[in-house]
Structure 1
């Protein structure tokens, strides 16, 4: 609503890692380097049994599970570092471990389960029982309210589950699965822990993908599967809440995976840019490449800053992490994709070439090609970029809808609108002028030194963003919900400002501990962020949205079919049968 709350992120929070975690991290890194052959995993498309066994022995399936249930008891921040380390080495393994720990049985059972459920299921997971989370269906993706899988209550209180789930990570090897199903009578959605060896469960198909070749992901069919009443998580009808809360926290592992990959890409790019010589000097000294290295470094620092902050906030009792988690997921996945694309550009043919081929020619087998394939899913996993934008946009206008929703509702009668008009006028009369006449404080945030101007800019931009959202509501009224390009730009601005503030706060903390290099990284990142913010502000009102929407709908209607096939029959068109 136009107020920049720097005090929420400054001083920058950090919970020190325990000695036990540091020792575990070192052991885990050694395991990855010495025992995990990612080229083999990628080529064979499966997890070696000895790797799975070692992960179980190390407690990797109980990383966040409290020690009282046999787990490692690591904090969310410590767990995030393991996710980043895993992703830097092998995307398929990172997906296996994070899908289990972040959204599989451990998370919803720990948050919503009974003590009996925790004793039964958390101890099994900590001991190595792999789990999965089943929400998505063949016809249901980001709209879980349309869930078709049913749970029919029996006379003895148990349930019978019938339906199909699609793209279930770990689903083809899981021992336990959290299944979301709708009560056939009440229509309420509930969550259940299902034993995957139960009669009536069938792995219909194991899916294969562009990257993450070993991912045990598939289509799972449930046919009249018996589930005892004690396996329902939470109250009857609480399933949707359980799913959303689980996904909110679960999303925090994905930006950590992006961070791990980006860290490795930075190292790959730096080494190559120092050794590859063109026109008499290393390519990294040419301005075009040095700018790419600069962007990789600043993005890595900013990604670390926001991921660390989101983890810390999630550890605060009662803190609603929805927006921070969505920002972390969306910002990191988008920047991570750019990072791998730029790394491939820096290495050229050596980026496009596989590790095995590079090794066969006697060169260092850098995994850029594999990382690119593995990382593309990050903009789709755990809610696509578009869904994340829509979710955050809805939160951005929520207060306005609460205050003036009746005025925007096309179904509201004139009497309804007149009734709320005094309340609406009073709210905006007090709120709107402050967005124009903020205090003139040229020396505000002086303790941040060189970085203070960036915070002052963020403060002004926050008020400008609030004005822009309000102006958009006035201009488009009830049609605003369909102006997705406008809304997405406002979300982009909000994310950039949030990450900027977190990056500056963290750099200031590091500066005070003697790390001046952090100020350089934060300064250049903030300059880039401000440039992007200004571009998005300009595009709010100067754009081609209507023309592009009209053309897109014309394409949808088949008005430009001549551009499509170039003589190739579309796959969906079956050849005509002979007479």
Structure 2
């Protein structure tokens, strides 16, 4: 059955903003992901297990260095190119994209932007090669949105070491990460600091969170720290307060979630469009009915707006002009539009939409996690609201 003449999700050709050399890398990456990584996605999601074999595939994919050119020796292609790399993986599977995003963004980003030159030189090589996996421990059982002011995990310095006590929750990769970047409140100066805790450190316990309905192959963990001793050499030297955490790490990773949202939404649109041209009811493809075409219009419109948001934010970032509030706006708006897009897609599939092998059901569930983490819509709204009014609505 013939497909529409214009089948692309990149309806305004934003990819054309990249030079041909970078587009060719993306084409090769897309082919490899579809061939070598995508086959792991559905079964791992259904089983709620992480496919550890895929780490070798990420090594072979070999795109991580573009995110940190000064540490890897790769060309500095910029935020637009690395954003499309994130989007590409999310189009295949949100869970595997989040695993990689936690490692390359939250975990490595904390070390790269928060560590001293010596720490970056010492810790980054094994992370760039995937020989060690990183994660990011900020959220707490009693503190998600209010973790900045209500952080209960503490750090006490004694000589050349620190003792950490507390608990973290929803820590992606937490069950198996080699390096857990733990954020804790210094009991002496009341400021937030960051520590790289190695797997197997006495007093460190990680427990998998079960029964999730979203990002099921991501291994989120409850992390408990009981008198965990960390040397000063593993305290990230450039993180001395919450402001450093928000500006150095979170504003960048919120951009990443914006790109992941476009990836999931664009795949949902493609799945729905293809299904509409193939599925027949009442003697003709359902795509020939007005109500179905209206759903596709809204889905593609959302994808196009979302992509425009992250593309422009990437351009501002590379120009050194992006703000934390702009990142918050993009994260909040894109994940809200993602929610609508996957809901329309699941609706279009009818009963088949709840079968994970069709893909749209996974996207529907996974959108709920992207909508919530890296700042809920409400918290991002307050960040933007303060920026545009000059008035803080935070308690």
The structure 2 residue matched to 1:127, chosen from 126, 129, 138, is 129
Residue 369 of structure 2: aligned partner: 377
Residue 216 of structure 1: aligned partner: 219
Output one character per residue of 1:361-417: Cα deviation in whole Å (capped at 9) or x when no partner. Answer: xxxxx311111111111110101111111222222221x68xxxxxxxxxxxxxxxx
RMSD: 2.5
Residue 78 of structure 1: aligned partner: 81
The structure 1 residue matched to 2:296, chosen from 293, 300, 309, is 293
1:26 aligns with 2:27: yes
Q: Give the whole-Å Cα distance in 2 for the aligned partners of 1:17 and 1:108.
A: 30
Q: 3-state SS of the aligned residue for 1:270? A: helix
Instruction: Write out aligned runs for 1:443-482 (5 A).
Output: 481=393
Instruction: Write out aligned runs for 1:387-426 (5 A).
Output: 387-398=379-390
TM-score (norm: length of structure 1): 0.61
1:149 aligns with 2:153: yes
Alpha carbons of structure 1 residues 385 and 52: separation in structure 2 relative to 1, 3 Å: same
Residue 50 of structure 1: aligned partner: 53
Give the superposition deviation at 1:13. Answer: 12
Query: Does the CA contact (< 8 Å) of 1:29 and 1:85 recur in 2?
Result: yes
Q: Give the whole-Å Cα distance in 2 for the aligned partners of 1:385 and 1:186.
A: 31
The structure 1 residue matched to 2:276, chosen from 264, 268, 273, is 273
Give the superposition deviation at 1:269. Answer: 1.9
Q: Give the whole-Å Cα distance in 1 for the aligned partners of 2:110 and 2:163.
A: 21
Residue 347 of structure 1: aligned partner: 349
Instruction: Specify the structure having the higher radius of gyration (Cα).
Output: 1
Give the superposition deviation at 1:281. Answer: 4.0
The structure 2 residue matched to 1:333, chosen from 331, 335, 358, is 335
Query: Does the CA contact (< 8 Å) of 1:70 and 1:126 recur in 2?
Result: no
In structure 2, stretches of 5+ residues that fail to align are 1-13
Residue 199 of structure 2: aligned partner: 196
Q: 3-state SS of the aligned residue for 2:53? A: helix
Give the superposition deviation at 1:279. Answer: 4.3
Give the superposition deviation at 1:246. Answer: 0.8
Q: 3-state SS of the aligned residue for 2:309? A: helix
Alpha carbons of structure 1 residues 32 and 193: separation in structure 2 relative to 1, 3 Å: same
Give the superposition deviation at 1:241. Answer: 2.3
1:95 aligns with 2:87: no
Alpha carbons of structure 1 residues 369 and 15: separation in structure 2 relative to 1, 3 Å: closer
Q: Give the whole-Å Cα distance in 2 for the aligned partners of 1:31 and 1:229.
A: 41
Query: Does the CA contact (< 8 Å) of 2:87 and 2:262 recur in 1?
Result: yes
For these two proteins, the number of residue pairs brought into alignment is 378
Query: Does the CA contact (< 8 Å) of 2:114 and 2:248 recur in 1?
Result: no
Higher RCO (CA 8 Å, separation ≥ 6 residues): 2
Q: Give the whole-Å Cα distance in 1 for the aligned partners of 2:109 and 2:42.
A: 31
Give the superposition deviation at 1:176. Answer: 1.1
Q: 3-state SS of the aligned residue for 1:211? A: coil
1:368 aligns with 2:370: no
The structure 1 residue matched to 2:263, chosen from 238, 260, 264, is 260
TM-score (norm: length of structure 2): 0.88
In proportion to residue count, which structure has more strand? Answer: 2
Q: 3-state SS of the aligned residue for 2:340? A: helix
Query: Does the CA contact (< 8 Å) of 2:174 and 2:180 recur in 1?
Result: yes
Q: Give the whole-Å Cα distance in 2 for the aligned partners of 1:236 and 1:96.
A: 24
Q: Give the whole-Å Cα distance in 2 for the aligned partners of 1:15 and 1:194.
A: 40
Give the superposition deviation at 1:15. Answer: 6.1
The structure 1 residue matched to 2:115, chosen from 107, 113, 116, is 113
